[in-house]
Amino acid sequence: MRLTLTQRLSLVFAVLLLVCCGTSAWMQVRSNQMHELEVVQGLSRDLAQHIAHDTVLMDRNGPMPNAVRELFSQLMLVNPSVEVYLLDTGGRIVGSAAPEGRIRREQVDLAPIQRLLKGEALPILGDDPRSVDGSKVFSAAPLRVNGQPAGYLYVVLLSEEHDRFAERGATSAALNTALLSIGLVALLCLIAGLTAFGLITRPLRRLTEKVSQFDINGVPSAPPASPEPEPVEKAASHDEIAVLDAAFRQMQARLGEQWRSLTRQDQERRELVANISHDLRTPLASLHGYLETLSLKDATLSPADRRRYLGIALDQSRKVGGLAQSLLELVRLEHGFVQPVLERFSLTDLVQDIFQKFELSAESRQIELKATFAPNVSAACADLGLIERVLTNLFDNALRHTPQGGEIELSLRPQGAFIEVTVSDTGPGITPELREGLFLRPFNIGGARRDGGLGLRIVHRILQLHGREIELIDVPGRGATFRFSLPVDEQTAEQWVVRSMNINSMEK
């Protein structure tokens, strides 16, 4: 039989309550009995002494049968709750008024009698002559003849008549009232305990329902929604269930974020593979076509056509090689195979090198390359090779989408502990619908793809390794304008790199 936690707690509580109530009732009855025995023995403690003082029960020849029988009969007639016995010095019963065959013991233990005579704490139980192993409260006094010990007067204070009367009263109204009171108290405690358990375990039941509804191995139809934040005072509570609920909500929120991140990354990966496959298919088809033409029509082609076909094939081959190189570079960056090596270098010198690299391409398209440096631009601290790759990708994208006669401008200006780098062009810019996920997925502008969609993604990843971010900003009169910053001192640069590594490890 399967029971819930609340049911198990209630069952255990009910059993413990029953045991406690039973133990309490037994202890109460036992305490009342001991108190009654103490009262009876305390009131009649000197009874045997008075009888022994006022009556001669023994002479030189031993017990006086007639005197003993007459006295014992009178006492038991006046007070039927007592039984009187005459003992010798060894505790053997030598005289009594008990009917024939009612005495079950021939001797009484003298140790309890000695304790009573010494005045020890009551109640003191002695042997019951009319029981094989029973014991009862008693009164006792020593008997002397001519100054010598002759035995003991032994008075049992609760006779068999008392026991029979007590047994008949076992179902009395007083006892029934006491038992009814104990039962009523137990019932009220049980109801209070079950109510308390229900109230205490209610938050746990709600948490159980939440956990049972959350299937971490299943594939939800929709990404898990971010749970509403708990109030600060509830989250900071010392209640273990509240703390557990807050921890579960945090875990659920974290798993939801990871689920959405994985979903987004999977979608981006699918788009990336699809776009790269498309970009590779076009140059490969062109390369294959021209090589096939050269193979089939080699004898009929003029030297000029042969050189033109070979030039086109080489150009398409370079495109395929560039895409493969970009893809390999992106994989190395995203999987942590590349870590920045920080060094101080002059950004102005690096910009001049970039201008020289793209000078001929810009002149052929009549595009002006313009640099704007603020006064006293200090050196930057970063990985020189990776930052050169960032500027190269940004300039390459700008050249692809800047119309003839346009302008590409790079500006440097200090911003506290950083140097702000801005690259802008006079191209068509990027429409608002393409800006979401700009640095995370491929996109087209006017049907032309920017380096297979990998250029800006590589730029974004390189700057992430440095703990920095790149953003697309709006500048009046300009097309696409990208801005990022680099630290100027080694300590700041190291802090941002370490922070980036921690963030990446958490995401993984």
Is the separation of the CB atoms in 189 and 195 below 8 Å?
no
The answer for residues whose C-beta is within 8 angstroms of residue 276's C-beta and 6 or more apart is: 323, 327, 442, 452, 453, 454
Amino acid at 159: S
> Which top CATH class is 240-331?
mainly alpha
CA atoms within 13 A on the CB side of 201: 15
pLDDT in tens, 224-269: 554 454 544 444 456 677 777 788 888 878 887 888 878 877 877 7
| The pLDDT value given to residue 445 | 44
Average pLDDT, the chain: 80
| The pLDDT value given to residue 167 | 64
pLDDT in tens, 47-77: 888 877 777 766 666 666 666 667 777 776 6
Whether the per-residue pLDDT at 153 is higher than 70: the answer is yes
Query: What is this structure's pTM?
Result: 0.50
44-171 and 338-507 have identical folds: no
Cα separation, 108 vs 86, in Å, equals 10
Domain boundaries, the chain: 44-171, 240-331, 338-507
Tokens of 379: 């050196």
Whether the per-residue pLDDT at 450 is higher than 50: the answer is no
Cα separation, 116 vs 41, in Å, equals 10
Q: From the CB of residue 226, how many other CB atoms can be counted at a distance below 10 Å?
A: 13
Amino acid at 470: I
Tokens of 16: 């413990």
Tokens of 437: 């996920």
| The pLDDT value given to residue 451 | 45
| The pLDDT value given to residue 84 | 83
pLDDT in tens, 338-385: 888 999 999 999 999 999 999 998 999 999 999 999 988 889 999 999
Q: Which residue has the higher pLDDT, 357 or 168?
A: 357
pLDDT in tens, 264-287: 778 777 777 777 776 777 788 888
Q: Which residue has the higher pLDDT, 460 or 450?
A: 460
Distance from the first to the final alpha carbon of the chain: 44
Whether the per-residue pLDDT at 423 is higher than 90: the answer is yes
Distance (Å) of CA 493 to CA 242, 295, 335, 464: 41, 56, 21, 12
| The pLDDT value given to residue 236 | 47
Whether the per-residue pLDDT at 443 is higher than 60: the answer is no
| The pLDDT value given to residue 407 | 94
Whether the per-residue pLDDT at 323 is higher than 60: the answer is yes
Domain 44-171, architecture per CATH:
2-Layer Sandwich (3.30)
> Which top CATH class is 338-507?
alpha beta
Residue 472, SS3 per DSSP: strand
Whether the per-residue pLDDT at 446 is higher than 60: the answer is no
Kindly give the interhelix angle for 455-465 and 490-507, rounded to the nearest 10 degrees. 110
Q: Which residue has the higher pLDDT, 322 or 475?
A: 475
pLDDT in tens, 72-104: 777 766 777 788 888 888 889 888 777 777 888
Instruction: Provide φ and ψ at 55, rounded to 5°.
Output: -130, 140
The answer for residues whose C-beta is within 8 angstroms of residue 23's C-beta and 6 or more apart is: none
DSSP state at residue 416: T
Residue 486, SS3 per DSSP: strand
Looking only at the bridges linking them, the beta strands covering 407-415 and 368-373 are parallel
